[in-house]
Amino acid sequence: MTVLCITLSCTDVNDGVMDILSSVPPRSADPHLRERIINTAAQLLATEGAVSARRLARELGTSTMVVYTHFGGMDELTRQVMRRGFADFGTELDRGAVTDDAVADWMTYLWSYRRFALREPHLYGVMFGPGLAAFRLGDPADLEAARSTFVSLLRRIHACVNAARWEVDDVTTAGEAVWSGVHGHTTLELTGFFGSVGRDPVRSYSEILTRMSIGLGDHALATARSLSTARRRAVRADRAEAASAR
């Protein structure tokens, strides 16, 4: 009797296992788990600056395989966190209607900006953190997702100019100044700064919007009326959001 002996190296075994795994169709993604992964990854990225599959799995109470099952790897998960963030951010910003008060519409946009950041602090922190530059330089669709929210702001500035409320020579520069101001205030508010010094962030945010509008050419009384309109809209939106969360 002839005995055939076959010796397999570790590499052969590993390659065979990977061949088998690659031939197995991926199981359908659980949408609830997928959202948990994205939200948890956003939190870890914002608070710890980086996240590994092992760290994420420990936080979720799952195996590391769930990351690869749902996203294929950590790089794609990070991109999905950013994409989801900018998509949701854009939806929030564009929710306000276009009315005959262009400055109130602009202010409504900026109250929506603040609402999103306060509701999604970890996601907001990731979106505007160190990874933003790399995200914008990647897939053209990612660049468009990031740019679209800023372009939305520029449209509102144009509307204020067209309504003869403001005088702006360079709309893009004006947009950069506005974005920098509200981003700075929002970032401070997320740190808990205003509460720690006993100041009202709503009052200071209103003051920023007022000074910006007047600085861009509006009359003080007209700006005050627009601020009152935008603030009422923001309060209604805040209440509706709180009611839907119950």
Give residue-wise pLDDT tens across range 48-62: 777 889 999 999 999
pTM: 0.78
| Buried b / exposed e along 143-155 (16+ C-beta atoms within 10 A) | eebbeebeeebbe
pLDDT band at 106 (very low <50, low <70, confident <90, very high): very high
Between 224 and 52, name the one with better pLDDT: 224
Counting every residue written for the chain, the total comes to 246
Position of tokens 């993604």? Answer: 29
- What value does the mean pLDDT take over residues 85-113? 93
Predicted pLDDT of residue 4: 39
Arithmetic mean of pLDDT, 230-236 = 96
The per-residue pLDDT of the chain, averaged, comes to 85
pLDDT at 136: 67
Q: Decide if 193 contacts 173 (C-beta within 8 A).
A: no
| Helices 171-190, 201-215: crossing angle, 10 deg rounding | 170
What number is the average pLDDT over the span 98-120? 96
What lies within 8 Å, CB to CB, of 68 at 6+ separation is 53
Phi-psi category of residue 27: left, alpha or beta, with phi > 0 → left and psi -120 to 50 → alpha: beta
pLDDT, tens digit, for every residue of 207-221?
999 999 999 999 999
CB atoms within 10 A of CB 196: 8
Residue whose structure tokens are 């160190």: 130
Does 15 score more than 90 pLDDT? no
Cα three-residue angle 137-139-145, rounded to 5 degrees: 85
What pLDDT, on a 0 to 100 scale, did the predictor assign at position 220?
98
pLDDT, one tens digit per residue, over 169-207 is 999 999 999 999 999 999 999 999 999 999 999 999 999
Q: Where are the strands (E) in the chain, listed by range?
A: none
Pair of tokens at residue 144:
């468009």
Is the Cα dihedral 150, 152, 157, 158 positive or negative?
positive
pLDDT above 70 as % of the chain = 86
130-167, pLDDT tens digit by residue? 777 677 666 787 888 788 899 999 999 999 999 999 99
Q: What is the pLDDT of residue 31?
A: 65
Q: Report CA-CA distances (Å) from 8 to 5, 11, 243.
A: 10, 8, 63
Q: What beta strand segments (E) does 10-61 contain?
A: none
Mapping DSSP to helix (H, G, I), strand (E, B) and coil, where does residue 41 land?
helix
What is the 8-class DSSP label of residue 165? S
Contacts 24+ apart (CB under 8 A), 126-134: 126/42, 126/45, 126/46, 126/81, 126/82, 126/85, 127/82, 127/85, 127/86, 127/89, 128/183, 129/45, 129/46, 130/49, 131/45, 131/78, 131/82, 132/82
Dihedral, 104, 110, 112, 118 alpha carbons, nearest 10: -150
Contact indicator for 159, 151 with CB cutoff of 8 Å: no
